[in-house]
Amino acid sequence: MQWLKTWDVRSRPMVFNVCPCALLILATTPLVVHGGDCGPYQPPLYAYRKAAGRVLPLDCETFPALDVTATPCVLRCAQLENCTVASVACENQSCRCSLCQGLQDIGEFPVTGTSPADVYILGRVLFSGASAPSKMTIPLAAPVRSGQLFQFKFRLPTDKFVLKLRGDDSILFKQDVRFDDSKLLRNSFLNGEWGEKEITPFTGMKENQEMDVVYVVTPVEFKVYFDWVFVFSFQHRDPDIASIKTVELSATGDELGYFNYLFVSI
């Protein structure tokens, strides 16, 4: 049996049973799906809700939607192997569901034609709810691929924090945020050597601030966003992004902050 939860900043999670034998029962709020015994329990799927114009999906297919709500479209996406993003767009009492295999970008984009009311990014929460220790390593459930999204939600420490995407003996992407000199640093460690360090000054962040740090993986680079606003990109120095096996977080300071969760799209 598999479960799908959706949420946004305005509402509590809604829970759906999305096993293949599910029977959809439409209600006003929330929409609920019931089903029978569909095999072993699987880790929860979450559908992160974002407003239209805030994401740019890739490799989409569209078809007539059953109704104006996004729920049937999201459930169909959850049952497909390569579906990551689902949305519904309506015009002149006709609605279409879009199912997409990944993301290209996040930001404010000009809307042309019909725009969906909401988009849902499907994924799993790999870790949640802990005071940030000086170092934390989180294994990934599947190989990293182009089109994926990583969302880190936490309260910033008082000195610095570091995020690393690691292989067995390599660091394909290291992001270092230092508050003492207001710098964003990024680098890689490949074949036993550190690469060329990239540095960007930053403003606007402060100690103990609640923040989303979001990565979008593209075929050529990692795109990095703070609170869903683009900050910088880091070109792949090793094209084998599937070799990334763990996420490592570390923090220093008098207060190490609080790590809310890590969300990774499927």
pLDDT of 3: 43
Comparing 240 with 60, the larger pLDDT belongs to 240
- Kindly state the percentage of the chain with pLDDT values over 70: 72
pLDDT of 53: 58
pLDDT of 255: 59
Is the peptide bond between 30 and the residue preceding it cis, with omega within 30 degrees of 0? Answer: yes
HSE of 245, CA atoms in CB hemisphere, 13 A: 5
**Range ranked top by mean pLDDT from 106-115, 151-160, 218-227:** 218-227
Looking at every residue in the chain, the average pLDDT score rounds to 76
- pTM above 0.75? yes
**Within 10 Å of residue 187's Cβ, how many Cβ atoms?**
18
In sequence order, the β-bridge partners of residue 259 are 130, 154
CB 260 within 8 A of CB 129: yes
Comparing 129 with 178, the larger pLDDT belongs to 178
| CA 127 vs CA 166, 242, 257, 259: distances in Å | 17, 20, 15, 9
Angle, CA of 122, 57 and 227, to the nearest 5°: 70
| CA 40 vs CA 37, 50, 83, 119, 122: distances in Å | 9, 30, 21, 29, 20
Band (112; pLDDT cuts 50, 70, 90): very low
Comparing 201 with 195, the larger pLDDT belongs to 195
Q: Is the pLDDT of residue 20 over 70?
A: no
Residue 32, token pair as written in the block: 């609920």
Lowest pLDDT segment from 13-27, 195-209, 213-227 = 13-27
CB 224 within 8 A of CB 234: yes
pLDDT of 256: 56
CB 6 within 8 A of CB 125: no
**27-48 residue pLDDT tens:** 222 333 333 344 444 456 777 7
CB-based burial, 87-122: b 16+ in 10 Å, e otherwise: bbbeeeeebbbbbbbbbbebeeeeeeeeebebbbbb
Domains of the chain plus CATH, in order, are 3-124 (no CATH), 132-265 (2.60.120.200)
pLDDT of 253: 65
Identity of the residue numbered 48: Y
**230-265 residue pLDDT tens:** 899 999 999 999 999 999 988 776 555 667 788 888
CA distance 70 to 206: 37
- Kindly state the percentage of the chain with pLDDT values over 90: 26
pLDDT of 130: 62
CB 4 within 8 A of CB 78: yes
Band (17; pLDDT cuts 50, 70, 90): very low
Residue 74, token pair as written in the block: 């999201």
| CA 202 vs CA 6, 20, 241: distances in Å | 33, 48, 27
